[in-house]
């Protein structure tokens, strides 16, 4: 990586999201309330539509608020409801079709199909159908920048979140300082340690560490910014690196600070340690990586940006999972090399901002997040099984959704969650 941890430039900085307007989200699944509902229409003569259609446009047009059908239609709807064991919910005249439309709910124990069949045979009924639910073709989350996260789409993250969100998994991020006050990271950083001990420690985080944390753990459905790959993980932010403006904005770490951070990580026993950095082989750090692995942590590192093995540590260390960009040069640096999104990644930046960044550091963050999803569902997963599972289910890049499908023997990536048959684990 030429001693640079994150290679790429900031394309866009988006500020002020903490003050963006919020809105309420319907948390209950709409299909739950619609499951026993029927949509029914009855004919009405031209000019016999409901009268007095006034009221605040923001209100729902319910019959009880003054939008009644004609008396004849009211009698017919009441009779139909009584005869077929239905409860009237709300209704509205459809002038263009010359009908009155009513929503009814099955109060008896009859099936929707049998009630619709009986209603369809009734001469008073123009049309009877089940209440269908439609979805807009956009992110199911309310995070406003989610649609700009092409990496999230490529990894199948939203579908994967039906199966796992990283709950109960701890990730140690050994990096520069993480902005724990960022609106997309609030509550996710459960531990911080500053091993750099600089005379002026950062008050609001630093770019690289905050960016890595954002890819892994940004909150979902908080009406802010972006979504993380594993939004419910616990982050241990261990600051062992620092930026140097005099060196072109690069971020640097030392054997001493990294050793301290690894020792802290070993003591807190995180399931995953993220090391989005590269440098020369280091004997002390190698021993600490051995110990962390022996105690059960999965270690994820970034592939060096250059094509040679020089400066390839810790990616060259045995049993470390390595992440690289799809466009990067292939090498035999590690048998555990995985391909993940790394270019123009939208993520968090200090002071409640967001930035597009590029580099294998972001690939490592994506791999870390996906492994956290797997560990939530199977805590016994180690580096071998994680790398094999992600390699065998990869398409252009690793796929969070496909990996979880294979792990759990379910189908969720292309539609509804249903059992899969003949899944080889």
* Residues labelled as active-site residues: 175, 208, 361
> Using CA atoms, how far apart are residues 402 and 159, in angstroms rounded to an integer?
10
Nearest to 299 by CA among 262, 257, 244, 354: 262
How far is the C-alpha of 78 from the C-alpha of 307, rounded, in Å? Answer: 77
Per DSSP, 304 falls in state P
C-alpha distances out from residue 262 to 21, 41, 174, 269, 299, Å:
41, 68, 8, 10, 11
| Residue 263 burial (10 A CB sphere; 0-12, 13-18, 19+) | middle
- DSSP codes joined into one string, 171-238: EEEEES---TTSTTTTTTEEEEEE-S--SS--SS--HHHHHHHHHHH--SSSSSS---SSTTPEEEEE
Distance CA 204, CA 195 (A): 16
Count, residues in the chain: 425
């Amino acid at each position: 990586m030429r001693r640079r941890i994150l290679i790429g430039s900031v394309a866009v900085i988006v500020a002020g999201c903490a003050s963006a307007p919020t809105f309420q989200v319907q948390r209950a699944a709409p299909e739950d309330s619609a499951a026993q509902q029927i949509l029914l229409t009855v004919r009405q003569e031209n000019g016999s539509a409901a009268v007095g259609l006034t009221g605040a446009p923001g209100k729902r047009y319910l019959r009880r608020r003054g939008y009644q059908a004609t008396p004849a239609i009211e009698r017919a709807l009441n009779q139909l409801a009584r005869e077929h064991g239905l409860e009237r919910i709300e209704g509205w005249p459809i002038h263009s079709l010359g009908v009155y439309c009513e929503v009814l709910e099955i109060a008896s124990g009859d099936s929707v199909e049998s009630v619709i069949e009986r209603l369809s045979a009734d001469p008073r009924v123009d049309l009877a159908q089940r209440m269908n639910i439609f979805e807009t073709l956009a992110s199911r989350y309310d995070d406003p920048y989610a649609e700009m996260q092409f990496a999230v789409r490529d990894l199948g993250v939203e579908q994967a979140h039906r199966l796992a969100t990283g709950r109960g998994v701890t990730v140690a991020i050994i990096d520069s300082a993480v902005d724990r006050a960022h609106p997309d990271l609030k509550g996710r950083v459960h531990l911080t340690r500053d091993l750099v001990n600089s005379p002026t420690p950062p008050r609001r985080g630093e770019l690289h560490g905050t960016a890595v944390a954002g890819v892994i753990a940004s909150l979902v459905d908080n009406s802010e910014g972006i979504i993380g790959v594993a939004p419910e993980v616990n982050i241990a932010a261990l600051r062992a690196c620092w930026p140097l403006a005099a060196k072109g904005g690069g971020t640097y770490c030392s054997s001493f600070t990294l050793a301290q951070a690894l020792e802290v990580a070993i003591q807190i026993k995180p399931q995953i340690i993220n090391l989005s950095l590269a440098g020369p082989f280091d004997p002390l750090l190698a021993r600490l990586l051995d110990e962390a692995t022996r105690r059960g942590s999965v270690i994820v590192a970034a592939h060096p940006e250059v094509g040679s093995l020089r400066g390839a540590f810790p990616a060259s260390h045995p049993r470390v999972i390595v992440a690289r960009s799809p466009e990067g040069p292939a090498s035999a640096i590690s048998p555990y090399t995985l391909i993940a999104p790394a270019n123009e990644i939208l993520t968090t930046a200090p002071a409640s901002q967001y930035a597009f960044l590029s580099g294998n550091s972001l690939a490592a963050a994506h791999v870390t997040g996906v492994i956290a999803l797997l560990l939530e569902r199977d805590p016994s997963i180690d580096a071998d099984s994680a790398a094999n599972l992600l390699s065998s289910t990869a398409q252009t890049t690793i796929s969070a959704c496909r990996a979880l499908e294979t792990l759990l023997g379910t189908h969720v990536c292309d539609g509804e969650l249903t059992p899969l048959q003949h899944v080889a684990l």
